[in-house]
């Protein structure tokens, strides 16, 4: 069966520090991968998605970037965190023919201080 792993579960980082969040999927090949962010009390905002290795599409221009160095690995990064980067970051995957459409990880709670 397919599983998705996200780490760390919680993270507290100072303003101006770098960020690296990792997501890996097991049990499937060539998944579509997604990064979402949820600010406190808000809905989910799609940040990036990837349909293949090295293919990244950005939905919202901001202080973050994403990379997909391997088929089942998706990384969210920042060179210098801002206070506004605080939030709940969720990774999700979808198979080529997948029903339901998205499977989510358990997220990373990021607090920028």
Partner 1 sequence: DAKTTQPPSMDCAEGRAANLPCNHSTISGNEYVYWYRQIHSQGPQYIIHGLKNNETNEMASLIITEDRKSSTLILPHATLRDTAVYYCIVRPHNDYKLSFGAGTTVTVRA
Binding site for partner 1 (CB under 8 A): 32, 34, 36, 42-44, 46, 49, 51, 59, 88, 90, 92, 94, 99-107, 109
Hey, is 43 helix, strand or coil? Answer: coil
Give min distance, CB of 107 to partner 1, in A.
5
Q: Which is nearer to partner 1, 59 or 113 (CB)?
A: 59
Q: Which is nearer to partner 1, 36 or 81 (CB)?
A: 36
CA distance 51 to 86: 26
Q: Which residues contact 98 (CB under 8 A, 6 or more apart)?
A: none
Q: Which is nearer to partner 1, 36 or 75 (CB)?
A: 36
Give min distance, CB of 103 to partner 1, in A.
7
CA distance 87 to 36: 10
Q: Which residues contact 20 (CB under 8 A, 6 or more apart)?
A: 75, 76, 77
Q: Which is nearer to partner 1, 12 or 102 (CB)?
A: 102
CA distance 58 to 48: 5
Give min distance, CB of 3 to partner 1, in A.
12
């Amino acid at each position: 069966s397919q599983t998705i792993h996200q780490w760390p579960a919680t993270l507290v980082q100072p303003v101006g520090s770098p960020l690296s969040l990792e997501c890996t999927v097991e049990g499937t090949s060539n998944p579509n991968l997604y990064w979402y962010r949820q600010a406190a009390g808000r809905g989910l905002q799609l940040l990036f998605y990837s349909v293949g290795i090295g293919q990244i599409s950005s939905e919202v221009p901001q202080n973050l970037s994403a990379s997909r160095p391997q088929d089942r690995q998706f990384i969210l990064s920042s060179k210098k965190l801002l206070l506004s980067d605080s939030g709940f970051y969720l990774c999700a995957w979808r198979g080529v023919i997948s029903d339901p459409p998205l499977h989510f990880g358990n997220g990373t709670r990021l607090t920028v201080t």
